[in-house]
Amino acid sequence: MSARDDAPAGRGGASRRRALAALALGALGLGACAGAPRAGEIGESDVVEVEDSMLVQTAAGPAVDASPEQIVSGFLRACVAGFFDDFATARSFLLTSAAGSWDPAQTVRVYPGSEEPVVTRALDGSVRVEADLLGSVGDYGIFSAADAAGYTATFTLAADAHGQWRIATLPPGVLVPVSGLSSSFRAAALYFLTPDRQRLVPELRWLPRGSLLPDLVEAFVSGPSPWLAGGVVTALPAGAVLEEEVAEPAAGTAVVRLTGGRARVPEEDLPLLVAQLWESLREIDSVSRVSVYLDGELLPQSASLPEVTASPGPLVGMSGGNVVQGTSSTRATLVAAAALGTTGARHPAVGTDGSVYVLSASSLLRAGAGQAAASVILSAGDADAAAGGLLPPVVDRHAWVWTAADGTLTVVNHVGQRPELSVPWLEGRQVIAFDLSAESARCAVRHRSGQDERVSVAVVRRDDDGVPVGLGDPLDLVGAEGAETSSVSWYDTVSVAVLAPHRQDEEVRDVRVLQVAGTTSATVGARGAVAMASDRVGKVMSLTDASNRVWQRSRTTWRVVATDVSDVSYPLV
């Protein structure tokens, strides 16, 4: 889903709306882990789980002579069971005219479940429903965070032919709790392509467990959701549709038959289409291979693209004024302090060409591979300021260096060229922290205006030469509220991690893992942690405390892996 509830459906939207009720609630059914115990492992929500059984829920229909408040309360309960009975019971609370026009799939709004919605009757006879919201899911099966206003809706009722109260008008969509629904829905990743067609980009969707394979393929054909569409492409030709619903695999082979547009597809794109579908379906236990047909032609073998979860290698940091890589006895010095011209450099970042970038007061320095001295490519803020007005840099795989200058997101290349970034939603807001995803196609940003602080993810928009020109519309992440640290880091391919604030009586901060358009989970971090970095793909996380001790988690415990490395980060590959 986009950040807007009224976003138009994609291609094939009609049949996908049929399953949306199920699509929606998986996000928040699994989201109940946000309140899980703080000790132990992070409560992970794997991209696909296929062996779980389904828990079928039921609800009672309207009672005879029920009051308007009882009718609305019963309707809300029946909406939960609606994901199992096609909303037949829920529609029995409506007048015939309302039952025919009500669209439960338009938006699914989800409340925490710790407290029931407040149902009250107004002086004009209408019934008012109020609830706190976690968020909502729309046509694309993407979960979006709720605003602070919560949910308020008005229902009007009238007597039917038998003199019984029934709902005459109601808002579109449904309002449901998180509890009791996670057994019926699951998260799955669709894969699209970076514009240069060199990397795969995942996007989480929420699909019913009972029909994962056909729904996943149908969602893929419908294309990326609006928030992602401006920065990714697909090898599927425009106008292509499924020739038939994908059946359960025979001998492990999922057969996908598409029709339309074969003549318009360059030969080099055909293996990419197969790669997209294979990566999207490979986590389903029953699928061991994929055969893709387009207009009756069996497409060639999948393209060989870099593994989505390929390790970026050891962490990078500062030690004794030098830029180093690794924390063990195999630690390598990438750039010595003498070449940097200072012993006070901080926050190193390494480019794919071996160039090293560091901050020195108000300047961003570059030391090219093999160069004897670093050069200044960007300056901002007060030259005497310790922070210098620049945020720790990140080098994308196109060799553009990202930072924030005086709170404004900024990019610069190796010779100091600084193209303007168009990010309307960040105007008037201060960028506190940011990080790029492993394939450099998505940016996670912590930003604030006054007391309003958020973590949002947006797609990176580039021109035909790969130059960043801006970010797409933001998708706010659930669970980032209240975090008092500037750290934000991609934890894996579909999740962002932040450090939660200190508790009054504890020295240990939680680590929160926020799925993009998904769930929130938490685990206990390392004692005294003040900064964090993750490898962006494999859930490898490093926490640094005020004494420059670097902690990494081994199974359920954190251990110190270095005592003299600061400003830790991981390169992009």
361-372 pLDDT per residue, tens: 889 999 998 888
Centre a 10 Å sphere on the Cβ of residue 193 and count the other Cβ atoms it contains.
25
Contact criterion met (CB below 8 Å) for 95 and 160:
yes
Residue type, 84: F
Is residue 46 over pLDDT 80? no
Is residue 144 over pLDDT 90? no
Centre a 10 Å sphere on the Cβ of residue 387 and count the other Cβ atoms it contains.
12
Q: What is the DSSP string of 303-344?
A: P----TT----S-EEEETTEEEE-SSTT-EEEE-HHHHT-S-
CA dihedral (63, 66, 70, 73) in degrees, to 10, reads 40
d(Cα 112, Cα 102) in Å, to the nearest integer? Answer: 24
Confidence label for 73 from pLDDT (cuts 50, 70 and 90): very high
Is residue 12 over pLDDT 90? no
Distances 225 to 41, 111, 200, 445, 551 between C-alpha atoms, Å: 31, 23, 15, 19, 37
Is residue 137 over pLDDT 80? no
Confidence label for 40 from pLDDT (cuts 50, 70 and 90): very low
Contact criterion met (CB below 8 Å) for 446 and 408:
no
Q: Tell me the domains of the chain and their CATH numbers.
A: 13-182 (no CATH), 190-202+211-298 (3.30.300), 316-324+389-569 (2.120.10.30)
Contact criterion met (CB below 8 Å) for 458 and 445:
yes
d(Cα 248, Cα 531) in Å, to the nearest integer? Answer: 46
516-545: pLDDT as tens digits: 988 788 888 888 888 999 999 999 999 999
Structure tokens at 333: 């010095």
Confidence label for 37 from pLDDT (cuts 50, 70 and 90): very low
d(Cα 176, Cα 205) in Å, to the nearest integer? Answer: 18
Q: What is the DSSP string of 219-268?
A: HHHH---HHHHTT-B-SSPTT-EESSPPPPPBTTEEEEEEES-GGGS-GG
Is residue 487 over pLDDT 90? no
d(Cα 357, Cα 192) in Å, to the nearest integer? Answer: 30
Contact criterion met (CB below 8 Å) for 141 and 207:
yes
- Quote the pLDDT of residue 465: 93
pTM for the model: 0.82
d(Cα 473, Cα 250) in Å, to the nearest integer? Answer: 41
Average pLDDT (501-505) is: 67
Confidence label for 41 from pLDDT (cuts 50, 70 and 90): very low
